[in-house]
């Protein structure tokens, strides 16, 4: 059967060892996109064989993240599916038979070395100048294992419950080859692959064994995962061969690293908050009372968050940058994922959020605003609120910015930025501000265009500078130096407020409250 016609089944296989880093979310996203694009299935598998690193709440965090992002799996713990259980700790018995199979066929062996003996082997080799000593096809011949001990000794040790691990027996001089969808052909000499432990002394399989067995039993067609797993892939390919599953080796695609903003190294979990931005999708509270902030709680919407993540490694090959999830699904191709690390850019992440907010309807933003301030509808009409939203929409990085940006439209108690007054208010021009106010108030129609014309005429007739008068007028009307179109703002708040705000600031300045 050709790969094209085969059922596409991909999996996201996180270990619940802490909160999911954004790199993990990107892996989940690419798997999701690949599955959706190709009419396949997206599977969540919890890889919790390492009980020592298990962290309470991490699995729920993974599920909550996928839910918030809108990339929920078709199969997985709590999602149903015919290939379960989907949590490795619930599959212990399944792995046992494959470990036996590898032992019986001579592809694996028992190793009885104690921690001290292993340490001794490493330090001896180091003293011989070997930088990273491993248990491999050479060193195994002088260690304590079923390849070196007499059969009776091995049986006795096992019967006496002497702790042992099971190791894969890597052959010598074998070329292990596979084609990575992103990196092309990868070829490794088996002499450089160590005899990895496949079953630990507690009987649990290690990641390598469980991962391969599960990918096979769950009929995974494509393994799309982070670059950090690339060195393990030759071992996985070899395990497939040992287990007689050569025909079912999945296609591999190892995603590029996500780098720190300066490109200096991998963006790590520890970078969270330290560099001034989150690296986790949702807030995470540790048992020690520490908190790591999440994109959700910082006001990011799921779609721009995913849009940003999609671009950390992939691009559509066009200038288009703003993508909805549906658009990502239709444009995503593994062939457009690059090899080199992608720098995380927090400013760009904010930009994505801003772009997606612009695509929201006024009513969607209205609903958000009303939820934040349920008194608003008692004091202002829905039409007025919608007009304000239309005016400030392009200025929003986050939905919550509506509160700050909307302040001067919804209340007369907005704060006047005294630093702005200090910088821009020119007392000599104050009389002109009062005259401009009169001019505008006396206009026969109080609309944006006429207000602009009235203002412009006054400035020109009196040979004043726009650059000096405009900021003063803006501070008087909005309290700030920056904001949406000033003339539209004046039309929207209406004649009365326009008049009273100018009087207010002029009085305050006269009385020394807002000293210029
Ligand atoms: N459990 C591994 C992890 O935590 C999964 C690696 C893989 O996808 O094969 O990232």
**Cβ atoms of residues 110 and 143 within 8 Å:** no
Q: Pull the structure tokens for residue 362.
A: 């006024």
**Cβ atoms of residues 281 and 68 within 8 Å:** yes
Lowest mean pLDDT among 49-53, 308-312, 354-358, 500-504: 49-53
Q: Mean of the per-residue pLDDT values for the chain?
A: 95
Ligand 1 pocket: which of 13, 17, 204, 235 to mutate (most atoms within 8 A of CB): 13
Q: What is the pLDDT of residue 507?
A: 92
Q: What is the pLDDT of residue 53?
A: 84
**Cβ atoms of residues 258 and 46 within 8 Å:** no
Distance CA 262, CA 244 (A): 46
Ligand 1 pocket: which of 9, 12, 14 to mutate (most atoms within 8 A of CB): 14
285: β partners: 291
Distance CA 493, CA 414 (A): 13
Put residue 82 in one of left, alpha, beta given phi > 0 → left and psi -120 to 50 → alpha: alpha
pLDDT at 305 over 90: yes
Within 10 Å of residue 445's Cβ, how many Cβ atoms? 8
Q: How far is the CA of 285 from the centre of ligand 1 (A)?
A: 23
Q: How far is the CA of 15 from the centre of ligand 1 (A)?
A: 7
pLDDT digits (tens, 9 = 90+) for 17-28: 999 999 999 999
Mean of the pLDDT values across residues 453-462? Answer: 96
Q: How far is CA 352 from CA 15, 34, 185, in A?
A: 29, 22, 35
pLDDT digits (tens, 9 = 90+) for 187-205: 999 999 999 999 999 889 9
Q: What is the pLDDT of residue 514?
A: 60
2: confidence class by pLDDT, cuts 50, 70, 90: very low
Annotation says 269 is catalytic: yes
Q: How far is the CA of 76 from the centre of ligand 1 (A)?
A: 15
pLDDT at 5 over 60: no
515: confidence class by pLDDT, cuts 50, 70, 90: low
Q: Pull the structure tokens for residue 272.
A: 């969270």
Ligand 1 atom closest to Cα of residue 232: 9
Place of tokens 């006795």: 156
Q: Is 235 exposed, middle or buried (0-12, 13-18, 19+ CB in 10 A)?
A: buried
55: confidence class by pLDDT, cuts 50, 70, 90: confident
- Closest Cα partner for 168 from 208, 215, 139? 208
- The number of helices, as runs of H, and strands, as runs of E, in the chain is 20, 13
271: confidence class by pLDDT, cuts 50, 70, 90: confident
pLDDT digits (tens, 9 = 90+) for 319-338: 999 999 999 999 999 999 99
- Closest Cα partner for 191 from 235, 241, 239, 136? 136
pLDDT digits (tens, 9 = 90+) for 362-385: 999 999 999 999 899 999 999 999
Distance CA 126, CA 198 (A): 25
Q: Pull the structure tokens for residue 461.
A: 């007739």
Torsion of CA 21, 23, 27, 30, to 10 degrees: 120
Q: Which string of b and e fits 319-343 if b means at least 16 CB within 10 Å? A: eeeebebeebbebbebeebeeebbb
- Side-chain-side CA neighbours of 265 within 13 Å: the count stands at 5
Q: What is the pLDDT of residue 1?
A: 40
Q: Pull the structure tokens for residue 20.
A: 């999911």
Catalytic one of 37, 260, 269, 348: 269
3-class secondary-structure state, position 9? strand
pLDDT digits (tens, 9 = 90+) for 155-192: 999 999 999 999 999 999 999 999 999 999 999 999 99
Ligand 1 pocket: which of 225, 240, 249 to mutate (most atoms within 8 A of CB): 225
- pLDDT > 90: percent of the chain: 91
- pLDDT > 70: percent of the chain: 98
Q: Please give the backbone phi and psi of residue 257, each rounded to the nearest 5 degrees, phi first.
A: -70, 155
Ligand 1 atom closest to Cα of residue 12: 8
Lowest mean pLDDT among 40-49, 100-109, 261-270, 397-406: 261-270
Mean of the pLDDT values across residues 493-510? Answer: 94
Instruction: Give residue ranges with CB within 6 A of ligand 1.
Output: 13-15, 47, 207, 211, 225, 229
**Cβ atoms of residues 109 and 145 within 8 Å:** yes
54: confidence class by pLDDT, cuts 50, 70, 90: confident
Give the chain's end-to-end CA distance (angstroms, integer): 80
Q: What is the 3-state secondary structure (H, E, C) of 188-242?
A: EEHHHCCCCEEECCCCCECHHHHHHHHHHHCCCCEEEEEHHHHHHHHHHHHHHHH
Question: Could you tell me which residues come within 8 angstroms of residue 129 by beta carbon, excluding any fewer than 6 positions away?
Answer: none
Q: What is the pLDDT of residue 258?
A: 97
Distance CA 502, CA 85 (A): 70
Q: Which string of b and e fits 196-206 if b means at least 16 CB within 10 Å? A: bbbbbeeebbb
Mean of the pLDDT values across residues 396-411? Answer: 96
6: confidence class by pLDDT, cuts 50, 70, 90: low
Q: Which of residues 374 and 496 earns the better pLDDT score?
A: 496
Q: What is the pLDDT of residue 39?
A: 97
4: confidence class by pLDDT, cuts 50, 70, 90: very low
């Amino acid at each position: 059967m050709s790969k094209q016609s085969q059922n596409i089944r991909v999996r996201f296989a996180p270990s619940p060892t802490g909160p999911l880093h954004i790199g993990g979310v990107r892996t989940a996203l690419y798997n999701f996109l690949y599955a959706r694009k190709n009419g396949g299935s997206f599977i969540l598998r919890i890889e919790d064989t390492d009980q020592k690193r298990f962290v309470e709440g991490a699995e729920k965090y993974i599920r909550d993240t996928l839910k918030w992002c809108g990339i929920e799996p078709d199969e997985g713990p709590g999602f149903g599916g015919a290939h379960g259980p989907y949590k490795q700790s619930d599959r212990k018995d399944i792995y046992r038979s494959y470990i036996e199979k590898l032992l019986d066929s001579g592809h694996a062996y028992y190793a009885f070395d104690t921690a001290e003996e292993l340490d001794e082997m490493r330090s001896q080799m180091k003293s011989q100048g070997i930088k990273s000593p491993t248990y491999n096809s050479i060193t195994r011949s002088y260690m304590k294992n079923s390849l070196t001990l007499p059969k009776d000794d091995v049986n006795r040790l096992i019967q006496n419950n002497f702790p042992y691990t099971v190791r894969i027996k890597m052959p010598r001089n074998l070329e292990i080859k596979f084609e990575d969808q992103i990196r092309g052909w990868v070829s490794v000499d088996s002499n450089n692959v160590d005899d990895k432990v496949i079953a630990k002394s507690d009987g649990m399989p290690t990641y390598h064994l469980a991962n391969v067995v599960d990918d096979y039993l769950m009929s995974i067609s494509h393994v799309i995962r982070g670059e950090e797993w690339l060195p393990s892939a030759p071992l996985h390919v070899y395990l497939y061969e040992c287990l007689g599953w050569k025909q079912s080796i999945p296609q591999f695609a190892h995603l590029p690293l996500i780098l720190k903003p300066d490109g200096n190294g991998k963006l790590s979990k520890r970078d969270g908050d330290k560099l001034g931005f989150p690296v986790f999708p949702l807030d995470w509270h540790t048992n020690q009372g520490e908190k790591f902030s999440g994109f959700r709680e910082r006001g990011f919407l799921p779609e721009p968050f995913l849009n940003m993540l999609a671009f950390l490694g992939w691009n559509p090959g066009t200038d288009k940058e703003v993508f909805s999830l549906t658009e990502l699904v239709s444009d995503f191709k593994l062939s457009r994922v690059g090899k080199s690390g992608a720098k995380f850019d927090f400013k760009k992440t904010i930009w994505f959020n801003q772009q997606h907010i612009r695509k929201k309807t006024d009513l969607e933003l209205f609903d958000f605003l009303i939820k934040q301030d349920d008194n608003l509808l008692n004091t202002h009409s829905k039409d007025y609120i919608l007009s304000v939203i239309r005016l400030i929409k392009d200025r929003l990085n986050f939905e919550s910015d509506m509160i700050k940006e909307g302040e001067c439209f919804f209340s007369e108690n907005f704060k006047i930025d005294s630093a702005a007054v200090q910088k821009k208010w020119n007392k000599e021009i104050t009389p002109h501000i009062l005259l401009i106010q009169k001019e505008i108030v006396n206009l026969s129609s109080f609309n944006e265009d006429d207000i602009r014309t009235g203002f412009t005429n006054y400035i020109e007739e009196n040979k004043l500078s726009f650059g000096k008068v405009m900021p003063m007028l803006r501070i008087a009307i909005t309290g700030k130096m920056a904001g949406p179109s000033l003339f539209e703002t004046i039309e929207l708040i209406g004649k009365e407020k326009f008049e009273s705000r100018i009087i207010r600031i002029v009085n305050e300045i006269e009385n020394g409250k807002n000293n210029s």
